[in-house]
Amino acid sequence: MSLEQFFERPQFSIPQDEKERLLTETLGELAAHHRERSEPYARISGALDAPTGTPSSLADFPYLPVSIFKSHELRSVPEDEVFKVMTSSGTTGQQVSRIFLDRRTADLQSRALSTIMTSVLGPKRLPMIVIDTPNVVRNRAMFSARGAGVLGMIQYGRKHFYALDDDMNLDVEGLQEFLSAYGDRPILLFGFTFMAWKYFLAAIRDQGLDVDLSNGVLIHSGGWKKLQDEAVGNEEFKSTFRELTGLGRIHNFYGMVEQVGSVFLEGEDGYLYPPNFADVIIRNPITWEVAKDGEQGLIEVLSVLPHSYPGHVLLTEDLGIVHGVSDGTGPGGWHGKRLQVIGRVPKAELRGCSDTHAFDKQPAGVGS
């Protein structure tokens, strides 16, 4: 199957009707690939009474619960072709997902992230502030989804400055030196949502620092749970950054280790958009039917990129709403479904990258 049709065109540029047709055809081939090469997936697919041919629509593809990768070893390549094993974030004692990547899938993952991020960052690598500690990529014990997220993003920057020390204190002197050298030109900031708010922006506010980030673009992700507990939503997050630092270009993104290719990026209208090679469906958690536009339900994600493991159609543990389809005439000119992520299903495991850090920092006995 050729995936070039999804990479050749600018991300977020394929009209929804055409995109669904292309995805349905390619996902049909990918599903057949996994049935042939993964006996456990073939058994699961058979138990779900899944059609052996290509379904007529994206909603007709059988989905796996995202939690299945915590309890089952699912891969569609021989063990000696496994190039990398990714694990999801999780607190101590939790099971983690294990995702098996061969070189092809790892290359697709890297290429996908590049085409998505350069759509808002441009082709050049920018001086970069990493809102984390350097040990997040040096310490293998920390290298789960959080470390992988940082490592995946630093390739889009240069002159990297890690803004936090191991105790999550802001390196004020280092930040001032970085901005003296590069603050008059475009810069990239990356951090997980909770950490960007709690340790970076809060330190700027509490210490009364004069920090000008007006030339910056912030990419952030990792879960809103702890900020929701503090009554901080997306709009307040963005408006406070703008007020304290002048930073106006802020893009949240939604993604997960379990599905290569599903990195949904926040557009200028504040909604999350799936890239060319992925899509989203909202399902009613009682009937499992596709929810209507504007109705809240469980988020199902689809991607044509997972080749080495059957993660192409997954039902997440997240709640969301699709607010219709953009035809490319709105802010930014992006096409596709407009997704709003509400949060975790009640009682779902704590698993967001920054939420995991927040849990680890709590005193014993404090609930999540």
Q: What string of pLDDT tens digits covers the 368 residues of the chain?
A: 589 999 999 999 999 999 999 999 999 999 999 999 999 999 998 888 776 777 899 999 999 999 999 999 999 999 999 998 888 765 545 788 899 999 999 999 989 999 999 999 999 999 999 999 988 877 655 456 677 778 888 989 999 999 999 999 999 999 999 999 999 999 999 998 888 999 999 999 999 999 999 999 999 987 655 656 665 678 888 999 999 999 999 999 999 889 887 899 999 999 999 999 999 999 999 999 999 999 999 999 999 999 999 999 999 999 999 999 999 998 889 999 999 998 888 865 544 454 444 434 433 332 22
Residue 350 has a pLDDT of 44
Tell me if 1 is assigned to some domain.
Answer: no
Residue 366 has a pLDDT of 29
Task: Copy the structure tokens of residue 251.
Answer: 């893009």
**H or E stretch covering 363:** none
Residue 87 has a pLDDT of 82
In this structure, the answer to whether residues 248 and 106 fall within a common structural domain is yes
Tell me if 73 is assigned to some domain.
Answer: no
Instruction: Report how far residue 368's alpha carbon sits from residue 354's, in angstroms, rounded to the nearest whole number.
Output: 13
In this structure, the answer to whether residues 211 and 277 fall within a common structural domain is no
Residue 143 has a pLDDT of 52
Instruction: Report how far residue 356's alpha carbon sits from residue 351's, in angstroms, rounded to the nearest whole number.
Output: 6
Tell me if 126 is assigned to some domain.
Answer: yes
- Could you tell me whether strands 296-303 and 278-283 are parallel, antiparallel, or unpaired per DSSP bridges? antiparallel
Residue 140 has a pLDDT of 56
**Domain containing residue 150:** 102-255
Tell me if 91 is assigned to some domain.
Answer: no
Beta bridge partners of 251: 219
In this structure, the answer to whether residues 111 and 229 fall within a common structural domain is yes
Residue 231 has a pLDDT of 53
Tell me if 94 is assigned to some domain.
Answer: no
Residue 288 has a pLDDT of 95
Q: How many CB atoms lie within 10 A of CB 332?
A: 14
Tell me if 34 is assigned to some domain.
Answer: yes
- Please report, for the chain, how many H helices and E strands are present, in that order: 13, 14
Instruction: Report how far residue 256's alpha carbon sits from residue 84's, in angstroms, rounded to the nearest whole number.
Output: 16
pTM: 0.87
Going by C-beta distance under 8 Å and a sequence separation of 6 or more, which residues neighbour residue 232? Answer: 197
**H or E stretch covering 112:** helix 103-121
Going by C-beta distance under 8 Å and a sequence separation of 6 or more, which residues neighbour residue 293? Answer: 322, 323, 324
> Helix, strand or coil for residue 177?
helix
Task: Copy the structure tokens of residue 191.
Answer: 């951090």
| 4 torsion bin: left (phi>0), alpha (psi -120 to 50), beta (else) | alpha
**Which has the closest alpha carbon to 310: 9, 36, 5?**
36
Report which DSSP code applies to 97.
-
Residue 363 has a pLDDT of 33
Could you write out the DSSP letters of every residue in 292-314? PTT-EEEEEEEES---SSS-SEE
Q: The domain that contains 56 carries what CATH number?
A: 2.30.38.10
Instruction: Report how far residue 108's alpha carbon sits from residue 80's, in angstroms, rounded to the nearest whole number.
Output: 19
In this structure, the answer to whether residues 239 and 274 fall within a common structural domain is no
Instruction: Report how far residue 305's alpha carbon sits from residue 28's, in angstroms, rounded to the nearest whole number.
Output: 13
Burial of 59 (0-12, 13-18, 19+ CB in 10 A): middle
In this structure, the answer to whether residues 234 and 110 fall within a common structural domain is yes
**H or E stretch covering 154:** helix 145-154
